[in-house]
């Protein structure tokens, strides 16, 4: 009967083992399809070395850590099951009612290897997820900057400490798990018995567990050592990083606990040779008591009675560390600071000298412009403009700022959403729209330099390859070069069809590949479709942000990719990439970013072929140099970028936002001033950084600049502005222009308040609103010119139904002068007197040939009418309604006379 039970146990054990092995195989096998399809994708973009490096690193870590854990667990469980065989206790007083070890042993023998392998696989998965930490660890480089406490190079914290922390966490959790499972095994095999007289432990079981305990406390000692470095990221002080109590209380306590943990490990070894558990219990008690006192009570005592009474004196050195390392980590130490007098003496001659700046003042905000583009140029419901980008081009020999947007395909807006439509026919967007930032039609709509389908250009900028297969829209996969013709573009009531001729996509040359992608995308149509040929290619990962992230997952990418028209008319996407870390000592962290950032890479994606190129924009960054070592061939020097793309590089708005936000606090470098927040700045509410073409003070040439003003905290006057330069040879340089602190300089909010208080402007705005139109106030732009500031704000009108924003008025403010007119030229003429130069005009005049000749008497009459109108507006602003009414009557009389003469 006993033999029968043993055979049944063996059978059940084998069944359970088979199920466990099958689960492991299924888990690993489920990764085959995405793994192979990823390999084909990396092969398409010619980055197989990146894929191989990432995969081999993950597999190496998984194998090494998984196998190590499995071997350690197996050895300990095997010993636990065998040691009790020679030192077994009598199976008496079993309070748990466990089966006899004769019953347990066959199951244990069958499940030991599958169970150990299963847990090893889980450990392997955990280790493989740390591949990026290991990449940095294995390719660590020095920053040549030492931290102020331990004098370690910053490279140790950025590259090595994250992996060492992972290794510590893996070791201690593995030993705890092994200790627990080993103890459980001893319970099952009666090496440990719980009786009414208390637990009874065999001698060998006790020795085994004490050795594991000693190992656990040794690893804990290493953890205490690593915790000392983690003090440099303490969030508990008045600034981020180790403060007075951290250095003078927590650090000594951690060093003591490290020594004490080693001592407890020795006590565990000593306890093997003595009866009972007294030494171990005393050691653990000491460790717990020291942790409570050293890491809880003592630091709190120091903080309350030593730091708080004289906080600025105690914390001043650590505030200095925080300021110094935060400025380093975000590149704030590279900002050049200058004085800006903010005078109110701007003249017409100054405007003439800065003619190019005036001509490039942006009158179109991207939000109303995006709506207008959508209604005027989407052409079909399935085309969408997702974003409007700012850029600059040489147009007719002039440096001009433009706004452009790609006409992208949106599969979710297709009128008929069949598989053939979504994946074979409607495969790509088509063309772009492009216009100057300051040009307006008589109807208040934007002027187009490139528009329509196919693209029609009125400038030397031509689009020769308008098809957009890779875009910002998150579309699904498409298959090209099929028997089903692709829609190229609509033409009236008909459509024009085409066939893809590029090299983008993975070839579907075999039945196996069709089966692969049918499995990958969960549809049999790929396998069964008669439209696919041997030349067919499948395109996936087509969204720009997804595509670059797939190729370089260790980089962080900007949210805004922007489109560039190359010299040969092809379309390219450029997206900024960042190297980031949250392990820069003493540096203030930003949620979602970390506490170190560099714009080290510019990624370029061909909108037609999907090819990828990564260029190193900041070769001084140690992090990108480490990745360049880890992934040879992935990155190219910036000098290798084609010149027609390089001229369109711009300072990224995302990074500029982060730097500006921090600079509003960290421009204060004196710890006393920083502590008291005496000179804290703010970014004006509802104001975003904006690109403009302007000539910086003391410079001789206009540049493409990213600009943002600052105001004192909780005040509205302007105190400074920050500029990022985008044109070579000054690309990436930041300059802060500080205003005199004793001088009142109107800020954006104060200008807005003065606009609202202007009787004429407020009355006009109210009148438009009463007529059922929505008044959209554009961004307030502060344009530095010479040594002064010029404020410009566009006003748009949109009907509440069928919103089509139209640019109707321009508000210009300088000093105490404010004017609102139909054109920028007229508004500036009102502010500065006289007429500005012709190129300032924002309204497109009708053709000169269409204007009939007018005799001198009619010109004089029209001039008189305009004078009456001007005086009427001035009287209205002054609140002189009686005088306003008289001037309106005179204007009416002049207009009637003008009409009578014109009728003759």
572-578: average pLDDT: 98
User: Is residue 437 within 8 Å of residue 496, measured between CB atoms?
Assistant: no
State whether residue 434 is helix, strand or coil: strand
Angstrom distance (rounded) from CA 20 to CA 112: 11
Question: Looking at residue 841, what is its pLDDT?
Answer: 41
191-203: average pLDDT: 78
Banded model confidence at residue 196, pLDDT cuts 50, 70, 90? low
855-865: average pLDDT: 64
Angstrom distance (rounded) from CA 738 to CA 561: 32
In the block, tokens 């105190």 appear at 719
**Strand pairing category for 336-339 and 456-457:** unpaired
Question: Looking at residue 1, what is its pLDDT?
Answer: 38
Q: What angle do CA 163, 164, 169 make, to 5 degrees?
A: 95
State whether residue 165 is helix, strand or coil: helix
User: Is residue 210 within 8 Å of residue 271, measured between CB atoms?
Assistant: yes
Three-state SS string over 170-199 comes to HHHHHHHHHHHHHHHHHHHCCCEEEECCEE
Q: Lowest-pLDDT range, 100-104, 420-424, 512-516, 835-839?
A: 835-839
pLDDT per position as a tens digit, 577-609: 999 999 999 999 999 999 999 999 999 999 999
User: Is residue 164 within 8 Å of residue 156, measured between CB atoms?
Assistant: no
Angstrom distance (rounded) from CA 430 to CA 453: 7
Question: Looking at residue 896, what is its pLDDT?
Answer: 72
Whether residue 839 has pLDDT greater than 50: no
| Residue 460 DSSP symbol | S
| Residue 531 DSSP symbol | T
State whether residue 338 is helix, strand or coil: strand
Cite the DSSP H helix spans in 407-453.
419-420
Question: Looking at residue 10, what is its pLDDT?
Answer: 56
Question: Looking at residue 903, what is its pLDDT?
Answer: 58
Whether residue 451 has pLDDT greater than 50: yes
Question: Looking at residue 880, what is its pLDDT?
Answer: 62
Whether residue 860 has pLDDT greater than 80: no
What is the DSSP annotation of 494-528?
A: EEEEE---S--SEE--SHHHHHHHHHHHT-THHHH
CA distances from 312 to 242, 317, 579, 666 (A): 15, 9, 34, 17
113-122, 619-628, 824-833, range with greatest mean pLDDT = 619-628
175 Ramachandran zone, left/alpha/beta (phi>0; psi -120 to 50) = alpha
Q: Is 722 exposed, middle or buried (0-12, 13-18, 19+ CB in 10 A)?
A: buried
Angstrom distance (rounded) from CA 844 to CA 692: 21
613-627, 787-801, 819-833, range with greatest mean pLDDT = 613-627
Angstrom distance (rounded) from CA 686 to CA 776: 14
In the numeric block, which tokens belong to residue 395?
A: 């147009």
N-terminal to C-terminal alpha carbon distance within the chain: 129
Show contacts of 376-380: CB within 8 Å, 24+ apart.
376/445, 376/804, 377/407, 377/433, 377/448, 377/451, 377/452, 378/407, 379/407, 379/452, 379/453, 379/490, 380/490
pLDDT per position as a tens digit, 797-814: 887 666 788 999 999 999
Average pLDDT taken over every residue of the chain: 88
86-95, 342-351, 533-542, range with greatest mean pLDDT = 533-542
Rg (CA), the chain: 36
Q: Which candidate, 162, 123, 125, 157, places its Cα nearest to that of 141?
A: 157
Question: Looking at residue 467, what is its pLDDT?
Answer: 96
Give me the numbers of helices (H) and strands (E) for the chain, helices first please.
29, 33
248-274: average pLDDT: 96
pLDDT per position as a tens digit, 457-478: 999 999 999 999 999 998 899 9
In the numeric block, which tokens belong to residue 33?
A: 């399809």
Q: Which candidate, 339, 424, 336, places its Cα nearest to that of 730?
A: 336
Q: Which candidate, 94, 110, 116, 80, places its Cα nearest to that of 189?
A: 80
Dihedral sign for Cα atoms in the order 752, 753, 756, 760: negative
pLDDT per position as a tens digit, 532-545: 999 999 999 999 99
Q: Which candidate, 667, 668, 589, 675, places its Cα nearest to that of 314?
A: 675
In the numeric block, which tokens belong to residue 67?
A: 């196998």
Q: Lowest-pLDDT range, 17-26, 52-61, 427-436, 778-787?
A: 17-26
Percent of the chain scoring above 70 in pLDDT? 88
Angstrom distance (rounded) from CA 128 to CA 138: 15
Angstrom distance (rounded) from CA 783 to CA 778: 15
The torsion defined by the Cα of 427, 428, 429 and 431, in degrees rounded to 10, comes to: -140
State whether residue 409 is helix, strand or coil: strand
Angstrom distance (rounded) from CA 129 to CA 170: 12
In the numeric block, which tokens belong to residue 826?
A: 């007229």
Helix (H) or strand (E) holding 404: strand 398-406
Q: Lowest-pLDDT range, 440-444, 677-681, 784-788, 883-887?
A: 883-887
In the numeric block, which tokens belong to residue 263?
A: 């001592």
Question: Looking at residue 770, what is its pLDDT?
Answer: 73
What is the DSSP annotation of 685-754?
A: TT---EEEEEPPTT-SS-EEEEEEEEEETT--S--EEEEEE-STTSTT-EEEEEPPTTS----HHHHHHH
User: Is residue 527 within 8 Å of residue 552, measured between CB atoms?
Assistant: no
Q: Lowest-pLDDT range, 13-17, 549-553, 731-735?
A: 13-17
Banded model confidence at residue 335, pLDDT cuts 50, 70, 90? very high
150-158: average pLDDT: 97
Name the phi and psi angles at 230, rounded to 5: -70, -15
How many CB atoms are closer than 10 A to CB 297?
12
User: Is residue 456 within 8 Å of residue 345, measured between CB atoms?
Assistant: no
Question: Looking at residue 456, what is its pLDDT?
Answer: 94
626-631: average pLDDT: 97
695-700: average pLDDT: 89
pLDDT per position as a tens digit, 355-393: 999 999 999 998 899 999 999 999 899 999 999 999 999
831-848: average pLDDT: 50
Question: Looking at residue 169, what is its pLDDT?
Answer: 97
Whether residue 842 has pLDDT greater than 60: no
198-207, 384-393, 860-869, range with greatest mean pLDDT = 384-393
Angstrom distance (rounded) from CA 278 to CA 712: 65
Contacts of 666 (CB under 8 A, 6+ apart): 323, 326, 327, 330, 332, 588
Angstrom distance (rounded) from CA 3 to CA 574: 74
pLDDT per position as a tens digit, 205-239: 999 999 999 999 999 999 999 999 999 999 988 99
Q: Lowest-pLDDT range, 295-309, 393-407, 709-723, 790-804?
A: 790-804
Angstrom distance (rounded) from CA 200 to CA 212: 19
850-868 exposure pattern, b = at least 16 Cβ within 10 A, e = fewer: eeeeeeeeeeebeebbeeb
Question: Looking at residue 86, what is its pLDDT?
Answer: 43
What is the DSSP annotation of 463-489?
A: -S--EESSBSS----EEESSSSPEEEE
Cite the DSSP H helix spans in 364-403.
366-377
Which of the pair, 707 or 875, is modelled with greater confidence?
707
Angstrom distance (rounded) from CA 692 to CA 716: 23
Q: Would the pTM count as exceeding 0.85?
A: yes
Contacts of 471 (CB under 8 A, 6+ apart): 386, 406, 408, 409, 429, 542, 543, 544, 573, 607
Q: Lowest-pLDDT range, 23-32, 127-136, 176-185, 621-630?
A: 23-32
Question: Looking at residue 816, what is its pLDDT?
Answer: 86
In the numeric block, which tokens belong to residue 412?
A: 């979710």
pLDDT per position as a tens digit, 303-326: 999 999 999 999 999 999 999 999
Is the peptide bond between 454 and the residue preceding it cis, with omega within 30 degrees of 0? yes
Banded model confidence at residue 877, pLDDT cuts 50, 70, 90? low
What is the DSSP annotation of 626-645?
A: HHHHHSTTTEEEGGGS-HHH
Question: Looking at residue 85, what is its pLDDT?
Answer: 55
CA distances from 565 to 617, 640, 897 (A): 21, 18, 53
Angstrom distance (rounded) from CA 297 to CA 250: 10
């Amino acid at each position: 009967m006993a033999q029968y039970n043993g055979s049944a146990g063996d059978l059940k054990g084998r069944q359970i083992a088979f199920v466990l092995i099958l689960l492991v195989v299924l888990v690993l096998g489920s990764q085959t399809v995405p793994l192979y399809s990823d390999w084909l994708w990396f092969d398409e973009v010619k980055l197989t070395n990146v894929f191989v490096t990432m995969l081999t690193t993950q597999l190496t870590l998984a194998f090494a850590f998984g196998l190590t854990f499995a071997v350690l667990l197996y050895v300990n469980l095997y010993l636990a099951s065998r040691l009790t065989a020679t030192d077994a206790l009598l199976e008496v007083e079993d309070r748990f009612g466990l089966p006899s070890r004769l019953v347990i042993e066959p199951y244990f023998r069958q499940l030991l290897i599958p169970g150990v392998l299963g847990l090893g696989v889980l450990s392997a998965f955990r280790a493989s997820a740390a591949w990026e930490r290991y990449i940095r660890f294995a390719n660590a480089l020095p920053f040549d900057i030492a931290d102020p406490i331990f004098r370690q190079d910053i490279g140790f914290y950025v590259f090595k400490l994250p992996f060492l922390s992972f290794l510590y966490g893996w070791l201690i959790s593995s030993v705890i798990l092994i200790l627990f499972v080993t103890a459980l095994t001893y319970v099952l095999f009666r090496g440990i018995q719980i009786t009414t007289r208390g637990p009874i432990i065999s001698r060998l079981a006790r020795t085994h567990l004490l050795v594991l305990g000693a190992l656990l406390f040794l690893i804990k000692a290493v953890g205490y050592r690593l915790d000392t470095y983690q003090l440099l990221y303490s969030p508990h002080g008045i600034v981020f990083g180790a403060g007075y109590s951290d250095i003078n209380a927590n650090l000594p306590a951690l060093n003591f606990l490290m020594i004490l943990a080693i001592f407890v490990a020795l006590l565990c070894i000593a306890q093997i040779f003595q009866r009972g558990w007294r030494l171990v219990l005393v050691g653990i008690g000491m460790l717990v008591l020291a942790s409570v006192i050293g890491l809880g009570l003592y630091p709190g005592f120091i903080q309350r009675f030593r730091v708080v009474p004289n906080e600025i004196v105690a914390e001043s050195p650590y505030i200095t560390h925080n300021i110094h390392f935060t400025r380093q980590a975000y590149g704030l130490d590279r900002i050049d600071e200058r004085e800006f007098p903010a005078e109110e003496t701007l003249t017409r001659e100054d405007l003439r000298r800065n003619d190019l700046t005036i001509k490039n003042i942006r009158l179109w905000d991207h939000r109303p412009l995006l709506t207008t583009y959508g209604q005027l140029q989407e052409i079909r419901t399935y085309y969408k403009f997702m974003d409007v980008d700012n850029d600059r081009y040489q147009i007719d020999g002039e440096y001009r700022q433009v706004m452009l947007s790609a006409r992208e395909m949106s599969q979710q807006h297709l009128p008929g959403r069949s598989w053939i439509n979504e994946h074979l026919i409607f495969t790509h967007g088509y063309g772009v729209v492009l216009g100057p930032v300051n040009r307006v039609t008589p109807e208040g709509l934007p002027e187009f330099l490139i528009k329509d389908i196919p693209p029609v250009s009125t400038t030397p900028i031509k689009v020769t390859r308008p098809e957009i297969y890779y875009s910002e829209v998150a579309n699904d996969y498409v298959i090209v070069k099929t028997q089903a013709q692709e829609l190229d573009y609509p033409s009236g009531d008909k459509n024009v069809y085409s066939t893809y001729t590029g090299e983008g996509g993975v070839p579907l040359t075999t039945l196996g590949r069709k089966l692969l992608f049918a499995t990958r995308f969960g549809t049999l149509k790929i396998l069964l479709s008669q439209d696919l040929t041997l030349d067919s290619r499948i395109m996936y990962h087509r969204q720009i942000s997804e595509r670059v992230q797939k190729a370089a997952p260790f980089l962080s990418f900007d949210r805004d990719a922007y489109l560039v028209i190359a010299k040969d008319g092809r379309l390219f996407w450029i997206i900024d990439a960042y190297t980031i870390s949250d392990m820069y000592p003493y540096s203030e962290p930003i949620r979602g970013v970390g506490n170190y950032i560099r714009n080290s890479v510019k990624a370029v994606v061909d909108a037609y072929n999907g090819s990828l190129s990564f260029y190193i924009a900041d070769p001084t960054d140690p992090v990108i140099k480490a990745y360049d070592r880890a992934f040879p061939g992935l990155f190219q020097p910036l000098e290798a970028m084609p010149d027609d793309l390089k001229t369109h590089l711009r300072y990224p708005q995302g990074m500029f936002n982060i730097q500006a936000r921090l600079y509003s606090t960290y421009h204060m470098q004196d710890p006393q001033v920083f502590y008291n927040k005496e000179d804290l700045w703010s970014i004006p509410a509802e104001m975003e950084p904006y690109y403009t073409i302007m000539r910086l003070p003391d410079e001789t040439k206009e540049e493409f600049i990213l600009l943002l003003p600052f105001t004192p905290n909780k005040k509205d006057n302007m105190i400074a502005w920050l500029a990022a330069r985008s044109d070579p040879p000054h690309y990436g340089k930041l300059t802060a222009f500080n205003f005199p602190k004793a001088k009142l300089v109107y800020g954006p909010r104060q200008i807005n308040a003065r606009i609202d208080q202007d009787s004429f402007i407020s009355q006009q705005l109210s009148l438009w609103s009463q007529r059922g139109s929505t008044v959209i106030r554009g961004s307030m732009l502060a344009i530095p010119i010479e040594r002064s500031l010029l404020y410009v704000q566009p006003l748009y009108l949109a009907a509440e139904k069928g919103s089509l924003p139209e640019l109707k008025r321009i508000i210009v403010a300088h000093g105490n002068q404010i004017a609102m007119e139909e054109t920028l030229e007229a508004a500036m003429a009102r502010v500065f007197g006289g007429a500005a130069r012709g190129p300032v005009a924002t309204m497109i005049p009708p053709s000169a040939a269409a204007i009939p000749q007018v005799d001198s008497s009619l010109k004089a009459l029209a001039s008189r009418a305009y004078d009456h109108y001007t005086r009427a507006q001035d009287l209205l602003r002054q609140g002189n309604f009686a005088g306003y009414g008289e001037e309106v009557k005179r204007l009416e009389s002049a207009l009637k006379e003008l009409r009578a003469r014109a009728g003759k």
